[in-house]
Homo-oligomer: A and B are copies of this chain.
């Protein structure tokens, strides 16, 4: 309770999917965490990889699950961190987790709610402070949708409450660029790579809210949920109102990639 993570959200985190107890792209997640820590001047403790591996082994997880890694600036009150710096807290927890089959079968409805500030010093970081995103999700739910789509200060749509956003229009894949204030998603980068391998034109840019309802397909990506179709936005059907063929091909390719990398 005296940890700066609890007191001030003074830390960063990663959430990974566990497939049969094994994390996908752990080194990419740790690399992102380390880069984020440097940006907020948070020390990088020794032996993070070994400690994560140890916690995962100790959890005994062998099924599907979620791995949460939290790094905070350690114990201490007051905005100004102690000088010399304290010992960062590294907290790792693995828990069983399964996707809802309905996401894949019928997709989600989404509502525009909540903001991301692309000009913040902490833009693009996975800081602990998720209250805006939680409130966005609750607001979307109250309005009858299942997911929130957040906008940045320029009014562009940037992603779901904890996911990156893609749309398919005119046979091209589009997703917000990193400069839009988005988290550089691990699944996002795999999807972009797979799309280009498939010969699909994939463009990173700025997406206006009105493009959602006009798109042929919309989907969200995240490490936990993989690729989830969005079939309605602001009460308007996206495409035919059911999960689309580009999403399906990319999800199949993504899962094949997971199997290939994890040797499962």
Query: Which residues on B sit within 8 Å (CB–CB) of A135?
Result: 39-41, 121-122
The answer to whether B70 and A77 touch across the interface, beta carbons within 8 angstroms, is no
CB-defined contacts of A81 to chain B, threshold 8 Å: 134, 138
Cα A79 to Cα B139 in complex, Å, equals: 13
Q: Mark A1-27, 1 if CB is under 8 A from B, else 0.
A: 111011111111100000000000000
Interface residues of A, CB < 8 Å — how many?
Answer: 53
Q: Which of A59-110 contact B (CB under 8 A)?
A: 66, 68, 70, 72-73, 77, 79-81, 91, 93, 95
Q: Which of B80, B113, B125, B130 has a CB less than 8 Å from the CB of A79?
A: B130
* List of B residues within 8 angstroms of A79 by Cβ: 130, 133-134, 137, 161-162
Q: Is the CB of A131 within 8 A of B80?
A: no
Chain B CB within 8 A of A128 CB = yes
Interface centre among A117, A161, A162 (most CB of B within 10 A): A117
Given contacts A77-B68, A130-B129, contact A13 B9 (CB under 8 A): no
- Nearest CB to that of A131 among chain B residues? B127
Contact flag A8-B128 (CB < 8 Å), given A77-B68, A119-B115, A161-B79: yes
Q: State in angstroms the CA–CA spacing of A8 and B5 once bound together.
A: 9
| Residue in B6, B66, B72, B114 whose CB lies within 8 Å of A120 | B114
Q: Are B91 and A120 in contact (CB under 8 A)?
A: no
A132 within 8 A of B: yes
The reply on A230 being an interface residue by CB < 8 A is no
Asked, given contacts A77-B66, A122-B131, whether A2 binds B117 with beta carbons under 8 Å apart, the answer is no
Q: Which residue of B lies closest to A39 (CB)?
A: B135
List 7 tightest A-B contacts by C-beta distance, closest first.
A129-B129, A9-B9, A9-B129, A8-B130, A127-B131, A153-B153, A6-B6
